[in-house]
Amino acid sequence: MANTMTEKIEEVAGDEVQEQHGDKVELSHTRKLSILIVMNTVSLVQSFDATCICVVLPSLARELNASFSESLSMGSVFLLATAIAQPIFAEMAHVVGRRPAYVASLVVFIAGTVLCGSAESSIMLLTGRAVQGVGSGGPQALSGIIHADMFTIRERSRWMSYQHVSWALGTIAGPIIGGAVVQNKDSQWRWIFWCTLPLLGGSLIGAMFLLGYDKGKRNLHLIKNLDWMGILLYIIASVSLLLPLTWGGSRFPWNSPAVIAPLVVSFLAFLGLGLYEKTTKKPMFRKSLFRHRSTVLQFASATIHGSLMWMVLYYLAVYFLALKGLTPLMAGVWALPATVIVAPMAAVVGIVAYKTGRYMGFLLGGWTLMVTMFGVMTILDKDTPTWVILVMTLFLGIAMGLLIPVMNIGVQATVREEDAGHAISMIYLLRTMGQCMGIAIGIAVFSVQLEKELGKLGLDTGQISNTLKMIKASVEYGGLGQHEYMMNAVAKALQCLWITGSILAGLALILCLFARCPKLPEDPHGPVSAELMPESRFSDAAIGRVWYCFSGKILHKATEQSNQRHSGSSVPN
């Protein structure tokens, strides 16, 4: 009995030592590469599943007789479930081990994919998408933790950028393959789910054999040590927040009790979660992650980034289908400039950060370009030349390619090394929640503005409702054709949406100006950057330079001119 107790104490103590000092596990280079291949494959499938749905929604709606709100929910329910599951699987990984958590999430992912592929109704497909989303949350959260296990902070900037490349490839393939599959026959949409099963099955086998490096340190019986109360409060809070954001403006009016009541519950649940996590001994969300201002600002920027990404993905598809009259396949092709460039840009950011330790320029450049391109998108209408659209989407893709990896890099430089895995998981979580919000914001802004534009034409409520149904049907069957007033209304609604996106991107740019971006340390065992920087000062790299450029030089020139005037007046005649 005494020996058993001693072993348990040593086991827990060993875990604490590893977490406190951030020791890296010693694995062969071949095994590390194999683990990376598994994670990159899963990342590709995740992005494929998330993006292919954008262009096949019309086919899904026709085949399953789904309503407009149900068809939009096909994408949002996946993201909602992913956001809910991420911190739960991350907590499991720290309690019971990386392999059990990762394998369990892949099993759920595969089960959800099978449900989607065999769905005979919209309800069954929504259920399958929700199960898929739960399974997708595990690999997203655990990838950051596993990278932190194996690599130093500089090495992570390179290897995680390659995972972003895989994610980008899935984003490229999703709309194109999805559009090609449903091009000639709506019922073929099931193949977008079946074709991912071999990749997921191979990844599951690989994870079972490769991720046991923490074996002997964590056991399944320790699952009782999970922060169950924190998990419960988080589920209540996130579901109560994301569901009404998805419903508002599409299924229920924004001022209806079905939207307001869950939002109130969400506020109270998040308040309770914050108070509980502050007092519990082993919180699911570490307090140390929110110690520095710069880290919190990076988290906020990641949320905005997720919103803008999905706003672009969903509503560029609406523009291509409704105003340009493109087929789903051609809509995916026209979106290629925005997706193809993401992969090389993400790789460049990771390699430069690995070589130099610097990344601030990518962060500011990415957000500046994002603000600019959302502003440029306001000129889009049915007559916009093709070359303008392609150039615009190309630069939009460059902005996304810069920002996707750089925020993961930046947040690691502002936390302690032992918190790096948690910080990356938090970035993924908030980006996913932002994606849900982006869809909700898009639905709200687009729907409200579209109704306003139709109201300006003198249509009554019944006529507006019928026109909205006509617009939905026209989009599903290949554009608005000769309905000039409908096309103008949709263009104005999209213009309002792009203005909203530009404002959000501008807010993120301002937040980044107040965030410090310390250079990544060359010595993996050196001091933590975040503990060396005073949080009371503005960013030397950002605000200081901006202030000098825009005011320092002006003041200097004004002083010189003043001195010249005074010296001139003192000269005797």
Dump pLDDT digits (tens) for 95-140: 778 888 899 999 999 999 999 888 888 788 888 888 988 898 888 8
Overall average pLDDT of the 437-454 stretch: 80
Does the structure show a pLDDT above 50 at 6?
no
Overall average pLDDT of the 350-363 stretch: 82
Please report which confidence band the pLDDT of residue 525 belongs to, taking 50, 70 and 90 as the band edges. Answer: very low
What pLDDT is attached to residue 435? 81
Question: In this structure, how many other beta carbons lie within 10 angstroms of the beta carbon of residue 270?
Answer: 17
Overall average pLDDT of the 382-410 stretch: 86
- Could you give phi then psi for residue 218, rounded to 5 degrees? -135, 140
What pLDDT is attached to residue 478? 55
Does the structure show a pLDDT above 60 at 524?
no
Please report which confidence band the pLDDT of residue 78 belongs to, taking 50, 70 and 90 as the band edges. Answer: confident
Question: What are the distances in angstroms from CA 300 to CA 214, 289, 297, 505, 508?
Answer: 32, 13, 5, 11, 8
Lowest-pLDDT range, 146-155, 220-229, 343-352? 220-229
Does the structure show a pLDDT above 70 at 209?
yes
Lowest-pLDDT range, 56-65, 359-368, 547-556, 557-566? 547-556
Q: Looking at the DSSP assignment, which residues form a beta bridge with residue 215?
A: 218
DSSP code for 189: G
Question: In this structure, how many other beta carbons lie within 10 angstroms of the beta carbon of residue 173?
Answer: 18
Does the structure show a pLDDT above 90 at 381?
no
The residue among 145 and 562 whose pLDDT is bigger is 145
Please report which confidence band the pLDDT of residue 249 belongs to, taking 50, 70 and 90 as the band edges. Answer: low
CB 104 within 8 A of CB 138: yes
- Average pLDDT value over all residues in the chain: 75
Q: Which CATH architecture has domain 288-558?
A: Up-down Bundle (1.20)
Does the structure show a pLDDT above 60 at 565?
no
Candidates 4, 12, 77, 37; CA nearest to 166 is 37
Please report which confidence band the pLDDT of residue 486 belongs to, taking 50, 70 and 90 as the band edges. Answer: confident
Separation CA 173–CA 552 (nearest Å): 49
Helices (H), 151-227: 153-181, 191-194, 197-210
CB 321 within 8 A of CB 328: yes
Does the structure show a pLDDT above 70 at 462?
no
Does the structure show a pLDDT above 70 at 15?
no
Overall average pLDDT of the 28-55 stretch: 85
Please report which confidence band the pLDDT of residue 3 belongs to, taking 50, 70 and 90 as the band edges. Answer: very low
Give me the sign of the Cα torsion angle 394, 401, 317, 195: positive
The angle formed by the CA atoms of residues 200, 206 and 212, to the nearest 5 degrees, is: 130
Distance of CA 98 to the CA centre of its chain: 23
What pLDDT is attached to residue 421? 75
Overall average pLDDT of the 247-271 stretch: 82
What pLDDT is attached to residue 27? 77
Does the structure show a pLDDT above 60 at 571?
no
Please report which confidence band the pLDDT of residue 141 belongs to, taking 50, 70 and 90 as the band edges. Answer: confident
pLDDT tens-digit readout, 531-551: 334 333 344 444 344 433 333
Q: Looking at the DSSP assignment, which residues form a beta bridge with residue 218?
A: 215
Overall average pLDDT of the 256-285 stretch: 84
CB 480 within 8 A of CB 490: yes
**CB half-sphere exposure, 125, CA atoms < 13 A:** 25
Does the structure show a pLDDT above 60 at 186?
no
What pLDDT is attached to residue 552? 42
Does the structure show a pLDDT above 70 at 160?
yes
What pLDDT is attached to residue 542? 41
CATH label, 23-226, candidates 2.60.40.10, 3.40.50.920, 1.10.645.10, 1.20.1250.20: 1.20.1250.20
What pLDDT is attached to residue 259? 83
What pLDDT is attached to residue 179? 75
Overall average pLDDT of the 134-163 stretch: 82
3-state class (DSSP) for residue 182: coil
What six digits make up the tokens of 260? Answer: 């307001």
Question: What are the distances in angstroms from CA 133 to CA 81, 86, 178, 339?
Answer: 5, 10, 18, 22
pLDDT tens-digit readout, 400-413: 888 888 887 778 77
What pLDDT is attached to residue 367? 92
Candidates 334, 319, 314, 323; CA nearest to 387 is 334
What pLDDT is attached to residue 467? 63
CB 86 within 8 A of CB 242: no
